[in-house]
Amino acid sequence: MTTLSPTGDGPLRVTVVVGSTREGRFGTTVSDWFVQEARQHPDLAIDVLDLVDVALPDRLTGYGQPLPPEVTAVTPRLASADAFVVVTPEYNHSYPAPLKTLIDWHMEQWQAKPVAFVSYGGMSGGLRAVEHLRGVFAELHAVTMRDTVSFHGAWARFDGDGRPIEAAECAGAAKTMLDQLVWWARALRDARATRPYVTA
Mean pLDDT for the chain overall: 94
Bridge-based pairing of strands 114-121 and 149-152 is parallel
Mean pLDDT (whole number) for 167-182: 97
pLDDT of residue 10: 82
Q: In this model, does residue 5 exceed pLDDT 60? A: no
Inform me whether the pLDDT recorded for 1 exceeds 60: no
CA dihedral 37, 41, 45, 49 (to 10 degrees): -20
What is the rounded average pLDDT of the residues 157-162?
96
Give residue 9's pLDDT. 67
When pLDDT is cut at 50, 70 and 90, the band that residue 198 belongs to is confident
Which tens digit of pLDDT belongs to each residue from 70-88? 999 999 999 999 999 999 9
| Residues 112-157 pLDDT 10s | 999 999 999 999 999 999 999 999 999 999 999 999 999 999 999 9
pLDDT of amino acid 26: 97
pLDDT at 200 over 90: no
| Cα→Cα distances 191→10, 37, 82, Å | 15, 27, 12
Tell me, what's the pLDDT at 199?
Answer: 85
Domains delineated in the chain: 11-19+29-55+72-195 (3.40.50.360)
Cβ(149)–Cβ(121) under 8 Å? no
Q: What percent of the chain has pLDDT over 70?
A: 96
- Residue 180 pLDDT exceeds 80: yes
pLDDT value for 8: 56
